[in-house]
A and B are shown apart, each in its own frame.
Chain A
Amino acid sequence: MSRQIENTRPAEIALVGCGAVSQMLYAPTLQALEAQRLARVAMLIDPSESQRATLQEIFPAARPYNSLTDCDLKALNLVIVASPPQFHAEQSILALNSSVPVLCEKPMAQDSRQAEQMLAAARESKTPLAVGHFRRFFPSSTMLKAIFENKPFGRLLNFSVQEGGKFAWAVASAALFRRESTPGGVLYDSGIHVLDLLLWWLGTPEDFTYEDDAMGGLEANCMLEMVYADGVRGTVRLSRDWATQNRYLFVFERGTVVYEVGQANKLNLLIDGLPYVLGGELTKAKSPDATVRLPTEAGLQSFGEQLRNVLRAIKGEESLRVTGDEAIHSLRFVEACYSRRKLMDLPWLADDERCSAQRLGNS
């Protein structure tokens, strides 16, 4: 059984991995939670002293460690695993076996076999395992889920997703770009967010095709075409090479809904027969006529909402919104894509290059 958080004390948290995602997303979020006395960063764990030092400046009271195995896990209420994905399973299982709840960054593991081991450890220790698919906490994601379920614009007909741009994360190592340390490129790294949302919104497609531009290495671009049982067709184009339109477009019988990537609490609606686009911020109505409204979470606030959900779930106040059992679906789908992969058409290659690319791409 997992360790409970005393209501009067902040949750004691260990942050494993002090790289880009910890510095850019977890650090400001945890700072806010510390200010609200909901959490306290007790340990910073990373084999790189320089990476730890950056976060140590923000959390001076946290004790630094090279490895999670050096830590006294009994003192903790939550371990956040934000290290490179090849370490996720090992570190998560270590914490879960000590009955410490885990919030593991996406992708939850290198492969579904490792993910299943994590799920087994969570089950056996009866300890919560959450996965960092924080986009589910976007109000726009929740709104879209409701639109798919309640069908205010009729049946979904088709959709297209374009997401990505030139890779710009200030990563501290080449781990994301080496086949030895990661099973995939853009699909596995950022595409898993997209797939998690699509699977949550629309379920598993009946059939799909998948292409990417890996030629012995890791893909920078990929294209996925999905067909659902009710005839809905969709395309997903991802890139970490070039700026895409960064737009999700869902065409329904009586209108179109557009989500622009990064707009956590905004949507655009094109309702058939109406002359203008209805676009804007999603707010919560606090009076029947909506004259009183409350703002909803923007990007980083949604990230904070994810952490709050985990902390409340550990206290037994609500259920986890993205469990390991949920998150494994997108990882399995990524694996299914790679198992069917074909080389994308790279139309600028000369004939001799194409032959070679084809050979390397299929090897």
Chain B
Amino acid sequence: MRVAITGASGFVGNRVVEKFYLAGVHDVVPLVHSYSSLTLPARFAIPWAVCDHFEVEPLARAIEGCEAVVHAAFGSPLSKMSRAVYKACDNAGVKRLIVLGSASVYNQNPAIGTTEASPLPSQPATRYNANKIASDRIFRNLRANGKTEIVFLMPGVVYGPRSQWIANLANQIMRGQAFLINEGKGICNAVYVDNLVEAVRLALVKDRVDREAFFVSDAETVSWREFYEPVLSALGKSLDDVQYIDPRVFTSSTLKRARVWAQETAETPFVQRMKPYVPGGLKKVYKGVLSLTANDGPAAVSALLGPEPLDVAEDMNLLQQCEYKLPNTKAGGLLEYAPPVSFAEGMRKSVQWLKFAGYPVVADT
């Protein structure tokens, strides 16, 4: 099968290309949005393409002749990209589109008992979640009038070579900035990238999965402590070198909301089209709103008085409070998904990649 992969220079997209091409699973056509993103696809003598992922025509031309598309790209505005990708697939006669979404549509700490049939939360915890939900709705609406089938895969924390989860953790450990919330007892819905690629492989070929959504994770139930341990040990550290903190409370100030609104409005296709006609004065007002709201709290002074303050991201704060392992039950049934790589093996390969990438790994796990 000839399969195009959007976002082929990204962590997951690149691994889909590597695995499918090297293991001879499918013929691949890596798609990237700019010439500078060709580094990884260009390691192979394969017919990659550079095209705008937000425009239907160039995308449709790039995927012409492909039976399937794996959509691994992420960009803003996400809704525009989702529309373009589906319409391009439909115009090009693509039979099936695999959308690599996220389990975060059920929030980073989903309610116990959540399945793919559960209603989506009425209040998404973050803007990212809200954008992902909106994107999935666009795909479903377009599918209602289109011919290209869609399968949604919803992984949690995807780790492996080139994963930000692994690299950021290693960077935090090296800076003494690694932290665990609630002693790291929260559940990490981890999925090794090759297990996700296996789910993609199955989703491309299985019957009766059109419009279905699947959680995808490793077989093991893993805590955040267990997720941290192999990386800590690889860098010659232990759980004693981690800062243990309580959950943070994130508030959304009016200024912060104004900033988000201003940025999102500016990214809409309508505003982008109107940009050349907007008077300079109005542009200055917009920039003023952004600059006024850029800093929400004190940072510089505290940095002078003590050690670097912990940078606790909103999504990580929620993820580490998770008490529920998302089930692979549906994927195991309809897709016959069985994760081929164990958590221990996935972490071993992740650590080996850290070494490859030049991190000061002192011990293989």
Partner-B contacts on A (CB < 8 A): 162, 166-174, 176-179, 185, 213-221, 237, 239-242, 244-245, 344-350, 352-353, 356-357, 360
Is B22 positioned at the interface, with any CB of A under 8 Å from its CB?
Answer: yes
Q: Is the CB of B43 within 8 A of A219?
A: yes
Q: Is the CB of B43 within 8 A of A245?
A: no
Q: Is the CB of A218 within 8 A of B357?
A: no
CA distance A200 to B57 in the complex (A): 51
Chain B's nearest CB lies how many Å from the CB of A50? 14
Contact of A162 among B21, B42, B358 (CB under 8 A): B358
CA distance A28 to B350 in the complex (A): 43
- Residues of chain B with a CB closer than 8 A to A177's CB: 35, 38-39, 42
A174-B50, A220-B40, A242-B357 known; A353-B161 Cβ under 8 A: no
Chain B's nearest CB lies how many Å from the CB of A338? 15
- Give the dominant DSSP class at A's interface: loop
Contact of A356 among B23, B42, B162 (CB under 8 A): B23
CA distance A171 to B45 in the complex (A): 20
Q: What is the size, in residues, of chain B's interface with A at 8 Å between Cβ atoms?
A: 33
Partner-A contacts on B (CB < 8 A): 18-19, 21-24, 34-46, 50, 160-162, 167, 194, 349-350, 352-353, 355-358
Write the chain B residue with the least CB distance to A247: B358
Contact of B356 among A167, A171, A346, A350 (CB under 8 A): A346
- Residues of chain A with a CB closer than 8 A to B160's CB: 348
- Residues of chain A with a CB closer than 8 A to B43's CB: 185, 213-220
CA distance A242 to B45 in the complex (A): 21
- Residues of chain B with a CB closer than 8 A to A237's CB: 358
Q: Is the CB of A215 within 8 A of B349?
A: no
Q: Is the CB of A185 within 8 A of B42?
A: yes
Contact of A245 among B19, B162, B356, B358 (CB under 8 A): B358
- Residues of chain A with a CB closer than 8 A to B353's CB: 347-348
A166-B39, A219-B43, A220-B40 known; A352-B23 Cβ under 8 A: yes
Q: Is the CB of A216 within 8 A of B39?
A: no
- Residues of chain B with a CB closer than 8 A to A166's CB: 39
Write the chain A residue with the least CB distance to B38: A177
Q: Is the CB of B18 within 8 A of A174?
A: no
Q: List 15 A-B contacts (CB under 8 A).
A: A167-B36, A171-B36, A174-B35, A177-B42, A216-B46, A217-B46, A220-B43, A241-B40, A242-B167, A242-B358, A245-B358, A349-B22, A353-B22, A356-B24, A360-B22
